[in-house]
Amino acid sequence: MLALPFKQGITIPYDSEGGGDPLAEKRDSILWGAAGDNLSGSDYPQLDDRYGPLTIRRVYQRPRDGIPRSWAASNAGADAGKRASCWSGKPDMAAVASGSLDERILGFLRSVPKAHVAFVTIWHEPDVKLKNGTFSLSTYRAGFRRFCRLAKRVQEDGWSRLYTVQIVTTWAGTNPSKGRTYADMWPGDGLVDCYGADGYSHVGSKESLWGPAVEFARSRGIPWCVPEIGYGNRGSQNVSWMKDQIAYMTTTAAGGKHTRCAFACWFDTAGPISNPTPGNDRAWIAAARKASREHFFDHSRFVL
């Protein structure tokens, strides 16, 4: 087994998930990351110092950004060559559904470096947007379906490390509502490579929190991931919750070939229903750091 030098004289195993050929692509790895306060990622080195090594970043565009002119010009541009990305855009969904943004989307996706691991989506947590009337279910499904089909065209052109991801809330699974269930929002089989669920402590823990999303992903034959995870602004704040979720994510598979959660990103920024996680809590930081180091995997060798 090879080893990688890390900060302050620490040595991290090149592949701490089981050894073997250091160049072999493995499907039992999990990438650990976070969403920070700065959309462009200028604060990410500090997060990495505190509880890394972080191997993926959760990143967003604002609605006014539309589809960026290139990956390098997007908020995920700083990740290339450093870590994987989970990118989410918020273009006009009616325009996406109509096809008027096809060339813009294709150009953007084709600007992703081919060696870069990138999970891409538009309008994450659509259940929330459907509830508040941002768009209709039919518009969302048509637009997301079209986006995924365009991404599949790019994959076929040689972007094998570009993955589509649908990102929903765990709440939509634990408290399903007509018109906003996982099945309602699904764009159709063969379009989504990984199923993402954003989950927080006030909703549940382990199976009660992630179970519905894992089962849905398993029924569609695809792996699962956790683009956002953190403590809710109400309920228990005990560090044991973090440890329980880490244990669940690193031992639970959905569908496809990946044998555990593909990646998980701490939501280390203020949210309307959440606290920054791990934030400045020493116990939370220690738990996040332990997970990053025990399950470290080189992002450049990651495959889904």
Contact (Cβ atoms closer than 8 angstroms) between residue 283 and residue 239: yes
Quick: pLDDT tens for 11-24. 444 444 444 444 34
Q: How many Cα neighbours within 13 Å face the side chain of 166? A: 32
At residue 40, the pLDDT reads: 92
When pLDDT is averaged across residues 51-67 and rounded to a whole number, the result is 97
Quick: pLDDT tens for 235-273. 779 999 999 999 999 999 999 999 999 999 999 998 889
Quick: pLDDT tens for 109-143. 999 999 999 999 999 999 999 999 999 999 999 99
H helices of 32-170, where? 44-51, 93-98, 102-110, 126-132, 137-156
Quick: pLDDT tens for 1-14. 334 444 443 444 44
> pTM of the entire structure?
0.93
Contact (Cβ atoms closer than 8 angstroms) between residue 62 and residue 90: yes
Quick: pLDDT tens for 140-196. 999 999 999 999 999 999 999 999 999 999 999 999 999 999 999 999 999 999 999
